[in-house]
Amino acid sequence: MNEMVELEYAEGLTEDSGYAFATGSIRVLETRLLTGAQLARLAEAADPAEAWRLLAEAGLAMAAETGWQEYEAALAQELERLYQYARSVSPKPEVVAWLKKRYDFHNLKVFLKAHFLEEDPREAVFGVGEVPAELIAQAVKTAVWSALPEELARAGEAAVAEYERTKAAQAFDFVVDREMFAHLRETARQPFLRGLVELWCDLANLKSALRAKGLGKDRAFLARALVPPGSIPHDRLLELLEFPLEEWPESLKYTPYARLIAAVRAEAGRPVDLGQLDRLSDNFVLARLRATRFSLYGPEPLVAYILAKEMELKAVRIIMVGKINGLPPEELKERLRTSYA
């Protein structure tokens, strides 16, 4: 990654001036995010070694400091740097902590699946959460939840109970995601953050509805998969299952999501491309985040930069995995998100 602009938040600044202070450094860092052209060039690299070299030439320290074989560790370190920087410039550390909570819930799912389904957790665990990953792992292993924050303990207990009742592997995703979004919504203090949670909930629920439709599942299955509603009520999402996919855009025409659904609906009897759905959903979020470029005060620029950088790291991972597995450049490009830069 480009070297972070290190700034100290001076005591005595107001919250507004503190965010303006942070925004100044963020605007510099935004100019160093990878552009769409740079990502396309990475996708065209002959092999993972060349892709990693191009990343170093683009100014990303993680590529200059390590070999391509250590790309996963480098990406993890880059994510840690991102959040260290965010904490150093934010006048409201709780905003950064709010974003980091997503990784606690993610790690909870990873350790639940490792314990009950014998999946390997090593490459799936993130080290940037608010709660040490080892503490979450121990709670899952021992079923003693008291050492975890209440929201994680509640999610863990509920997920285990649902799995033991149904023996369905999806129980861990369904329950933990539902608890995560409920917690994020409850603890979002600014209008921008509340709007972001609403957007995330809508996209998560639409993905679940499309998956349920593609699998021929009924309303009861979809109801278990839904997270708290965003702007689209649950009953409206459940009603969608009664209609052909071709009619979904019309049913959603008064929402912001009609064009997105039209872009991913099944064609000629083929199922929805869920990879394309994830990519277009990320692009949808990025489009919302770009509007923060006109903001000076408030958490919007900082949150937008964090999420944009996370998506950049995701893009790098997609490219490196694709290069290691010999995917052709055109197929890789189809998997890439729009650049924030």
Render pLDDT for 56-86 as a digit per residue (tens, 0 to 9): 998 888 888 899 999 999 999 999 999 999 9
Q: Which of 336, 301, 304 is closest to 321 using CA atoms?
A: 336
Top-confidence residue, 140 or 263? 140
The CA distance from 27 to 227, in Å, is: 34
Quick: pLDDT tens for 211-257: 999 889 999 999 999 999 999 999 999 999 999 988 999 999 999 99
CATH of 95-187, one of 1.20.1690, 3.40.50, 3.40.1350, 3.30.1490: 1.20.1690
Give the type of residue at 93: P
Q: What is the pLDDT of residue 12?
A: 39
Q: Are 113 and 168 in contact (CB under 8 A)?
A: no
Between vectors from CA 34 to CA 29 and to CA 35, what angle results, nearest 5°?
A: 115
3-state class (DSSP) for residue 228: coil
pLDDT recorded at residue 8: 35
Same topology, domains 95-187 and 190-294? Answer is yes
Question: Residue 305's pLDDT band (boundaries 50, 70, 90)?
Answer: very high
Q: Does residue 8 come out as left (phi exceeding 0), alpha (psi in the -120 to 50 range) or beta?
A: beta
Write the CA distances from 80 to 47, 308, 337, integer angstroms.
27, 15, 22
Class for domain 1-92+299-341, per CATH? mainly alpha
Amino acid at 278: D
Prediction pTM value: 0.90
- Average pLDDT across the chain, whole number: 89
CATH number of 190-294: 1.20.1690
Q: What share of the chain is helix, strand, coil (3-state, %, to 5)?
A: 70, 0, 30
pLDDT band at 96 (very low <50, low <70, confident <90, very high): very high
pLDDT at 270: 60
Query: Tens of pLDDT along 186-204?
Result: 999 899 999 999 999 999 9
Least confident of 166-180, 218-232, 241-255, 271-285: 271-285
- Show me where the domains of the chain are located: 1-92+299-341, 95-187, 190-294
